[in-house]
Chain A
C-alpha cells in the first residue's frame, strides 16, 4: 500500500506493506541509514528515533504508526552536526564503534527535552540503550555537558 511519512521535515511517499516496521521503511525505502538494526525485538535501542517528539524503538513499531506524525532521525538532528548533543559527544570523544550512538543520542535528546537538567538517576532511568563497547562513562558526561550547552543557548 502507499502512504506518506514526514521524516526530518521532509514528506516522503512510501509504497510498502504498512505493517513493515518503521525501521525498515526508514533504512530501505528512504535510505536513511543512520538509524541502526541490531536486535529486532525492541531491546537494545540501536533503532531509536522520535515519533511526535517521543523516543521509539523503530524495529518494533509498524510504519503506519508514524503516518501523520513528525518523525525525527539522527540525520535530522542538525544541519551540520552542531546540535549540542553532537558537540558534547565529540568533546568527550564518546563513541567507540559508533553503531549504537545514533540511538543513544536520540534517547538523550528525549531525556533533555523532558528534563533540561537531568540527574544521574534520570539518565539511568531514561537512557536504556545498549552499548557493547562500553561507552557509558563518556555518554553520561556528554549528556550533562549537552544539557549545559542547551541551557546556554538563547
Chain B
C-alpha cells in the first residue's frame, strides 16, 4: 500500500535533536523538561512552566509576567485578547504584563475541571451578576464535545461562543488566583486577609505599609488550598474596569512583522512534506496510482494511499479517498503528485449531481410535506380571508469558508505518542481522531496549537488533521508536514448547504399579514436549518406555519460563518421587504409595527435597533437617483427570553446604469447586552462580517458539475478587495438587559437582503437567487 521512509528518527533521538538545536530554531516546539523549557525560546506551546502555576489558567513569573492560558484558537476574532481580559479583570494584574498562551489539549485529556468551575453562577440570561447561559454539550461517544468536565471544558472555537461559554469560568479563574495570592501574602505577613488589597499586580497592607507583587508571592500562592467558595464570586458589569474597554489585540505586533506562527509555518528537524490529492467527486476513492512514474523525481520519498476510513474513526470528517506524496520539500511533493497518474473510482450516483438537478430536487422537496417546526393558528383560514397573497422563492448556493491559510498539519507519531502542530478550531475532536486512527490513547496525544489563518467554521479544520495523521501513521518516527493546495482545500472542506425557501403570505385589506407559511429546504444533514423561523414568527402574524424539507446530496456539509441563520435571515428579511412593497408601506415602519404587535420578550430591543439604525442612516431623507437604502433586523435567540443578540442595519447602495453595485454606507445599531468584553473586537467583527456577507450577496457560489465542485480557486471563486469596501461604516451600541449569545458569525447577514432590496428600488428588478452578480443589474 505505501512506502515508508527508512531513515526515520525514533522518539528519543528526536527529542535529543530538539534539545540540542533549541537555540537555532526560532519557531520553537515541544520540550520535555522544565530545564529545557527555561532555555528554549518562548513558544506558545511549552507545556511545563518553570514557575508553578497558580491554577490551570494562570502562571505568574517572578518578574510579574502573567501567562494566561487560552483554550480557544485565535483566528482573527480576538479571543487571544478577550479571554485574557476576562482573567485579568478578576486577577487585578497589570494588563501590560499579560501574555496569552495556548492551553494544553493533552492536559485537558488527563485532568478534570476544578470543581469551582462547574457551577455557573447566577440565574441565567437576564441576571447581570451571573455567568449567563453557557451551553456545554454532553459527552458524545465520538468526542464531539470533548470529555465532559475535562480541564478546559470546551476547547472548540465555534458558534461565536467563546465569550458566552467561557466568561464565567475565566472570571472565576482570575478571582480564584487573586484570592490565593492574597491568602499567601496574609500568611507571609501574618495579617488578616481582609486587610489586604490588590491592584495592578501589587498587594498592599495599608495598616503596616507593606507591599509585595504577584510575582514575589506566586510560588506561595500555588501551595495555598482553594479558598472558601464565598470568596470567589465574579464581578458584574458595573464593577468592570478592564472588560468593556477597547483593547487592541495583543498579537498585532507579531502579525505586522510576519512573526506569528501559523500551522503552515511549523518546521521540525528531519521533517518531510506531503502533498495530497483526494477524489474530486465526494464519496469516490483511489482506483490505482503509478508511483513508479515519479519515484525518481527530485526529493521524492514515498507515497501513502488512504481510503475513506470508517466514519466512526474520524467522526465522518473524511469525504473521499486520496493519496499523498512525500518529499523533501513541499514544492517537490506538489510537482510530483501533479505528474503521478491517478485513477479514481467514482460512485456514478454522485457523479450524476449538478447544480441544475440539485435545484430541481430542492424545489420538489419544497412541494412535499415537510417537518413542522412551528405552527400557530390556522393558516388555511388566514389565506382564505386574505385580500392579497404574496409568494416568493429564494435560493442560496453551496459556500465554502475559503479561509486564507490552506489546510495543513504537522504530525509526528511514535508507538506511544502522537504530536500534532496545527491551527485547529476543535482540538478535542482532533485528539479523538488521532487516538482512533493510531491506537495511541488520547492521554498520549499532544496538540501544539497555532494561530489559524482564518477559521469561519469549526469543521473548517477537517479533515486536514486526519489526513496528516494517516500519512504520519504510515511513516512513524518522521515528522510529516501535510499541506493542501488551494484547489485541494476546496475539495477537502465541508460546505454550507445549498438552500431554498418558499415564503407565502396572506395580507389583509390594510396590508398586514394574517397568514404566513415558510418552507425551507436543504439536504438532510445541513446545519442550522431552524434559525430565524423556529418557535414563532419574529414579525407578528396570527396564523403561522414553518416546515423544513430535505433531500439527499453527496456534498459534505458543515458549519460555516453564520450557519443556517445567514440564509434564513436573507429569506426572511427579503420577504419582509417584498411584503412592505405589496402593502404600500415603508419597510422600516412596516417591520416596526409588526414587531410591536408581538409578545416577544426582547421586542423592545429589536424596535430600538431598528429605530437607531434608521435614525443614524437619515432614513427617509432624499437620495440621488441610482442610490437606495434598505433596512433589516438581525437576531439570534429572540424567540425566547434566553441569551440573544440583536442588531439592525441600514445599507445605502448605489448602482450605476451599467449595473455596477457599490455598498456605499452601512449604519449599524448593535446591542451591548449587559456588557461587551472588548468593544474594539466587536467593531472589527462587525466590519469583517459586512465584507463576508457582501461577498455572499454579490460574488460567491460554488456550483456542482458531474458531482464535482467547479469553483476551486480564487480566480473562479472571487473575494472582494479593498475597492469594494464600504466607504462609510457607522457603528453604535445601545445597552440592553440580557447577556449576548455571541456576535462573531451572524451579524451583517442583512447585507444580502439589503442589496437585493436596493437593486429592486433602483432597477425595478427583484432577484431572489444569490449571488446578485450573476444577474443583469443594468437599468435605464
Give A residues with C-beta under 8 Å from B.
Answer: 16-17, 20-21, 24, 28-29, 31-41, 43-44, 46, 73-75, 77-78, 81, 85-86, 89-90, 93-102, 105, 120, 123-125, 127-140
Distance of B744 from chain A, by nearest CB (Å): 11
Distance of A2 from chain B, by nearest CB (Å): 14
- How far, in angstroms, from A94 to B249 measured CA to CA in the complex? 9
Starting from the known contacts A39-B715, A77-B257, A134-B688, 17 additional A-B residue pairs (CB-CB under 8 Å) come to A33-B258, A36-B404, A38-B405, A75-B257, A78-B257, A89-B256, A90-B248, A95-B252, A96-B684, A97-B404, A97-B405, A98-B251, A98-B451, A124-B723, A133-B454, A134-B692, A137-B687
Is residue B210 within 8 Å, beta carbon to beta carbon, of the partner chain?
Answer: no
User: Please, could you name 30 A-B residue pairs with CB atoms under 8 Å apart, sorted by A?
Assistant: A28-B329, A28-B330, A29-B329, A32-B258, A33-B264, A33-B265, A40-B713, A41-B714, A74-B257, A74-B258, A81-B253, A86-B253, A96-B76, A96-B684, A97-B75, A97-B403, A97-B455, A98-B254, A98-B260, A98-B451, A99-B453, A100-B404, A100-B453, A123-B722, A127-B722, A129-B722, A131-B691, A134-B689, A137-B687, A139-B722
Is residue B690 within 8 Å, beta carbon to beta carbon, of the partner chain?
Answer: yes
Give the residue name and chain of the A residue nearest to B246 (CB): A93
Is residue B721 within 8 Å, beta carbon to beta carbon, of the partner chain?
Answer: yes
Interface centre among A16, A130, A136, A138 (most CB of B within 10 A): A136
Give the residue name and chain of the B residue nearest to A78 (CB): B257
- How far, in angstroms, from A127 to B483 measured CA to CA in the complex? 27
Distance of B381 from chain A, by nearest CB (Å): 46
Given contacts A95-B249, A127-B722, A132-B402, contact A31 B684 (CB under 8 A): no
Given contacts A44-B719, A97-B455, contact A38 B265 (CB under 8 A): no
Q: Is the CB of A130 within 8 A of B719?
A: yes
Q: Is the CB of A43 within 8 A of B714?
A: yes
Is residue B680 within 8 Å, beta carbon to beta carbon, of the partner chain?
Answer: yes
Given contacts A28-B329, A93-B252, contact A86 B405 (CB under 8 A): no
Distance of B70 from chain A, by nearest CB (Å): 15
Residues 58-82 of B at the A interface (beta carbon under 8 Å) = 74-78
Q: Is the CB of B688 within 8 A of A135?
A: yes
- How far, in angstroms, from A101 to B249 measured CA to CA in the complex? 15
Q: Is the CB of B256 within 8 A of A37?
A: no
Question: What are the residues of chain A within 8 A of B734 when measuring CB–CB?
Answer: none
Q: Is the CB of A20 within 8 A of B715?
A: no
Question: What are the residues of chain A within 8 A of B483 when measuring CB–CB?
Answer: 37
Distance of A6 from chain B, by nearest CB (Å): 18
- How far, in angstroms, from A35 to B404 measured CA to CA in the complex? 13
- A-B CB contacts (within 8 Å), total count: 177
Question: What are the residues of chain A within 8 A of B713 when measuring CB–CB?
Answer: 39-41, 43
Question: What are the residues of chain B within 8 A of A37 when measuring CB–CB?
Answer: 264, 406, 483
- How far, in angstroms, from A33 to B624 measured CA to CA in the complex? 49
Give the residue name and chain of the B residue nearest to A32 (CB): B258
Q: Is the CB of A101 within 8 A of B255?
A: yes
Give the residue name and chain of the B residue nearest to A28 (CB): B329
Q: Is the CB of A17 within 8 A of B298?
A: yes
Is residue B725 within 8 Å, beta carbon to beta carbon, of the partner chain?
Answer: yes
Question: What are the residues of chain A within 8 A of B403 when measuring CB–CB?
Answer: 97, 99, 132
Interface centre among A16, A43, A46 (most CB of B within 10 A): A43
Q: Is the CB of A125 within 8 A of B454?
A: no
Question: What are the residues of chain B within 8 A of A35 when measuring CB–CB?
Answer: 258
Is residue B259 within 8 Å, beta carbon to beta carbon, of the partner chain?
Answer: yes
Residues 723-748 of B at the A interface (beta carbon under 8 Å) = 723, 725-727, 729
Is residue B262 within 8 Å, beta carbon to beta carbon, of the partner chain?
Answer: yes
Distance of B481 from chain A, by nearest CB (Å): 10
Q: Is the CB of A38 within 8 A of B76?
A: no
- How far, in angstroms, from A40 to B403 measured CA to CA in the complex? 14
- How far, in angstroms, from A130 to B405 measured CA to CA in the complex? 12
Question: What are the residues of chain A within 8 A of B714 when measuring CB–CB?
Answer: 38-39, 41, 43-44, 130
Question: What are the residues of chain A within 8 A of B727 when measuring CB–CB?
Answer: 120
Interface centre among A34, A127, A133, A140 (most CB of B within 10 A): A133
Question: What are the residues of chain B within 8 A of A24 when measuring CB–CB?
Answer: 329-331
- How far, in angstroms, from A85 to B259 measured CA to CA in the complex? 16
- How far, in angstroms, from A125 to B485 measured CA to CA in the complex? 28
Question: What are the residues of chain A within 8 A of B723 when measuring CB–CB?
Answer: 124-125, 128
Select B684's contact among A21, A78, A90, A93, beta carbons within 8 Å.
A93
Given contacts A17-B298, A81-B253, contact A136 B486 (CB under 8 A): no
Question: What are the residues of chain A within 8 A of B715 when measuring CB–CB?
Answer: 39, 41, 43
- How far, in angstroms, from A44 to B454 measured CA to CA in the complex? 14
Question: What are the residues of chain A within 8 A of B331 when measuring CB–CB?
Answer: 20-21, 24, 28
- How far, in angstroms, from A138 to B248 measured CA to CA in the complex? 13
Interface centre among A36, A85, A86, A123 (most CB of B within 10 A): A36
Q: Is the CB of A129 within 8 A of B453?
A: no
Question: What are the residues of chain A within 8 A of B453 when measuring CB–CB?
Answer: 36, 38, 97-100
Q: Is the CB of B298 within 8 A of A46?
A: no
Q: Is the CB of B252 within 8 A of A90?
A: yes
Give the residue name and chain of the B residue nearest to A21 (CB): B331
Question: What are the residues of chain A within 8 A of B248 when measuring CB–CB?
Answer: 90, 93
Q: Is the CB of A140 within 8 A of B684?
A: no
Question: What are the residues of chain B within 8 A of A38 when measuring CB–CB?
Answer: 404-406, 453, 486, 714
- How far, in angstroms, from A111 to B253 measured CA to CA in the complex? 22
Distance of B440 from chain A, by nearest CB (Å): 29
Q: Is the CB of A140 within 8 A of B454?
A: no
Residues 449-465 of B at the A interface (beta carbon under 8 Å) = 451-456
Distance of A112 from chain B, by nearest CB (Å): 15
Q: Is the CB of B264 within 8 A of A138?
A: no
Question: What are the residues of chain B within 8 A of A28 when measuring CB–CB?
Answer: 329-331
Is residue B267 within 8 Å, beta carbon to beta carbon, of the partner chain?
Answer: yes
- How far, in angstroms, from A131 to B680 measured CA to CA in the complex? 19
Given contacts A41-B713, A132-B719, contact A99 B454 (CB under 8 A): yes
- How far, in angstroms, from A110 to B416 measured CA to CA in the complex? 51
Question: What are the residues of chain B within 8 A of A95 when measuring CB–CB?
Answer: 76, 249, 252, 255-256
- How far, in angstroms, from A117 to B393 measured CA to CA in the complex? 49
Question: What are the residues of chain B within 8 A of A34 when measuring CB–CB?
Answer: 257-259
Distance of A11 from chain B, by nearest CB (Å): 20
Q: Is the CB of B688 within 8 A of A133?
A: yes
Q: Is the CB of B725 within 8 A of A136?
A: yes
- How far, in angstroms, from A125 to B723 measured CA to CA in the complex? 7
Q: Is the CB of A97 within 8 A of B264?
A: no
- How far, in angstroms, from A78 to B483 measured CA to CA in the complex? 30
Q: Is the CB of B722 within 8 A of A40?
A: no
Question: What are the residues of chain B within 8 A of A132 when measuring CB–CB?
Answer: 402-404, 454, 456, 692, 719
Question: What are the residues of chain A within 8 A of B265 when measuring CB–CB?
Answer: 33
Given contacts A36-B264, A41-B715, contact A133 B76 (CB under 8 A): yes
Q: Is the CB of B486 within 8 A of A41?
A: yes
- How far, in angstroms, from A81 to B253 measured CA to CA in the complex? 7
Give the residue name and chain of the A residue nearest to B483 (CB): A37
- How far, in angstroms, from A46 to B403 measured CA to CA in the complex? 12
Q: Is the CB of A98 within 8 A of B691?
A: no
Given contacts A75-B257, A81-B253, contact A134 B456 (CB under 8 A): no
Question: What are the residues of chain B within 8 A of A100 when measuring CB–CB?
Answer: 404, 453
Q: Is the CB of A81 within 8 A of B688?
A: no
Q: Is the CB of B258 within 8 A of A102?
A: yes
- How far, in angstroms, from A119 to B407 measured CA to CA in the complex? 37
Question: What are the residues of chain A within 8 A of B329 when measuring CB–CB?
Answer: 16, 24, 28-29
Question: What are the residues of chain B within 8 A of A137 when measuring CB–CB?
Answer: 687, 725-726, 729
Distance of B328 from chain A, by nearest CB (Å): 9
- How far, in angstroms, from A40 to B719 measured CA to CA in the complex? 15
